[in-house]
Each structure stands twice: as structure tokens, then as C-alpha cells.
Amino acid sequence: MTKPMTLVRRHIAATPDIVYAAFMDPAALVQWLPPGEMTGRIHAFDGRIGGGYRMSLYYPSTTTEVLGKTAAQEDLVEVRFTDLVPPRRIAEAVTFTSADPVLQGEMLIEIDIAPASCGTLVTFLCRDLPPGLKPEDNEQGCHQSLDQLAAFLTT
């Protein structure tokens, strides 16, 4: 059985070098990566192949329902860099810290950063989504993060 995948693309009005740097700077990453109204906190960052980062994503305090995969309002993710080709490609193995077996497992994200007219085309290909992560929710989160990256790099 094939695991679900998602593919999301976004044009960013910045050079590939600038886009790549936004992925590799923990202070920048925490500003644009948490989707929608979520906020984030980086616990550790190592920008080498085999390194990665550990990040908490927090749901808004106004959210009354339990949404988190790790705690009521938190998703804790462990990201390991499996490939880094500056400024063109980042490959990540992502795991959620969760007691729920349907949210466990390693999701693979390939990020392609390609020069395009007046900027860069950024593509997220997410493969091997855990069964408890709906592809449409993952797709929406990727769109939100890329929209926020575009806004972050144009301000």
C-alpha cells in the first residue's frame, strides 16, 4: 500500500540564496514555518547533513479544542537533514513526538529551490505521511508556511 504524499509549489520574490538561507537560519525559520496562526520555538538546530532541528509548534491560545500531536496545544517535531545542496535542495526526515501510533513514523520532505522568473520556485514534496496526518491538512499547512515565507522575505 502506497503512503499518501503531497506536492505544493510557491513562487517567492527572492533569490534562491536568500530562500535557502531562510530555511537554514533558526531565527528566520521560527518566524515563517509555523503554519497559519501557530507559533514556534526552536529547541536545537544543527545545519549539517545528519543534523537538523527540534521545534515545537504551538496552536493559538484562543483554540479551545485539543489539536496537538504531542500535547494539547503542541506539535513537537524532530527534523533530520538527509541532503543539503545549497542553494537548491533540502531533504528532511521528519517525525512527530506523539504517543499516538497513527502519528508515528518518518515523513520525508524534499524541498526544491529553483531559480524562476523574478525570483524562486519553491516546491515541497512530502512523502510517507503518517496515517494520522491527513494529506489535505498537510497540504494546507505547506501552503500556509510558503505564503508566510514569501511575506517574510518581502518585508
Q: What is the CATH number of the domain that holds 77?
A: 3.30.530.20
Q: Residue 1 has what pLDDT?
A: 58
pTM above threshold 0.75: yes
Q: Is residue 57 part of a domain?
A: yes
The pLDDT of residue 68 is 74
Q: How far is CA 49 from each of CA 10, 65, 80, 99, 155, rounded to the nearest angstrom?
A: 25, 37, 8, 27, 30
Residue 108 has pLDDT above 70, yes or no: yes
Residue 121 lies in a domain: yes
Looking at residue 63, its pLDDT comes to 75
Q: Using 50, 70 and 90 to split pLDDT, how confident is the model at 120?
A: very high
Mean local confidence (pLDDT), 45-65? 91
Ordered strands of the 74-85 beta sheet: 6-12, 119-127, 107-116, 89-96, 74-85, 52-58, 39-46
Which pLDDT does position 70 carry in this prediction? 81
Buried b (16+ CB within 10 A) or exposed e, 119-142: bbbbbbbbeebbeebeeeebbebb
* pLDDT above 90 as % of the chain: 78
The chain-wide mean pLDDT, for the chain, equals: 93
CA 72 to chain centre: 20
Q: What band does 61 get if pLDDT is binned at 50, 70 and 90?
A: confident
Domain boundaries, position 48: 6-153
Percent of the chain at pLDDT above 70? 97
CA–CA separation, 92 and 73 (whole Å):
24
Residue 1 covered by a domain: no
Distance, CA of 8 to CA of 42 (rounded, Å) = 24
pLDDT of residue 66: 61
Residue 32 lies in a domain: yes
Domain count, the chain: 1
